[in-house]
Amino acid sequence: MPYSTPDKTTLVTGANGFIGRALLSGLVRGNLEARAAVRSRDNFRHDDFIKHVPVYVVKDIGPATDWTEALDGVKSVVHLAARVHIMREDAKDPLAEFRRVNTMGTIQLALQAAAAGVRRLIYVSTIKVNGEATFDRPFLEDDILRPSDPYAISKWEAEQALRRISTETGMEIVIVRPPLVYGPGVGGNFLTMLKWIERGVPLPLASVDNRRSLVGLDNLVSLLMECLSQPRAAGETFLVSDGEDLSTPDLLRRTALALGKSSLLFPCPVTLLHMAARLFSKGEACERLCGSLALDTGKAQRLLGWNAVSTVDAELQRTADWYQRRRVSAM
């Protein structure tokens, strides 16, 4: 489906991040005006697709951030900048720090955006607002929300604040809740998985029978572009995924195939995996590997006519190709 042109310029916050750079490239490919907001120009790398995108440095994101210059003349904002889940948390009060950036920082941006005449703000939240696991059915947009960790709570509170600001100012809000996002440039647990497969690490996960939704970069960017252009997106919340849920063993095997490697999986009772994880304080990691977290993307399909533009295998291949290029360049 062709995109309608958003009014004037779209500001992308967190533009030097994994998703931000891909979205900027998508906007430029679509001949749409874009600008980037970053905390530091030192961390922003231009490539062929975004070399002419104006860059605005906003420094620290929180309740006192000045977005005035970056918002001047902007009609749409995609807010990606956030304090994300940290594996080795060192803040004395993690919830307060997440709230400072993700909740208060988002409120500050939204209030200034409304005052500057921004028509629509798209907020990229997280499926963790819905909860950590699914059981008898996939998550839906209108489920009772159960955020449990500081990151998810801060995102949920930001969603609530944005809806209030929309009511008070008339600025349109669109909320998108992705699951784990992967693609070229991915980090975190997905990058660790790529390293395990590349090194031939045997993994005791062959007996895991779960279903997890993921979303590749191309598919997430395509939905964000739809949310920028379609009038029917205003005021709505959307879940997004690749449209094919995978078990952990299936994900490992298909990623290994993309890497040209063998997946060395062996069976182990899932109850034993959970016991060992608790013993080594790795319960959350074990749940992500063994539990289910599935999303229903039917609303985006019905309301926007959106469907995933790329298959899981194509997205995994793009990710694997990037990873192998990265390894070669690091040698």
Buried b (16+ CB within 10 A) or exposed e, 51-72: eebeebebeebbeebebeebbe
Tally the residues of the chain.
331
Is 151 designated active site? yes
Determine which one of 3, 56, 123, 151 is catalytic. Answer: 151
- CB 78, CB 19: distance < 8 Å: no
DSSP string, 181-222: EESTT--HHHHHHHHHHHHT--BS-TT----B-EEEHHHHHH
Q: What is the CA radius of gyration of the chain?
A: 20
**CA-wise closest residue to 297 among 234, 182, 214, 190:** 214
Rounded to 5°, the CA angle 49-52-57 comes to 110
Neighbours of 271 (CB within 10 A): 9
Question: Identity (one letter) of the amino acid at 170?
Answer: G
d(CA 122, CA 42): 26
**CA-wise closest residue to 173 among 182, 181, 162, 184:** 162
What are the catalytic residues? 151
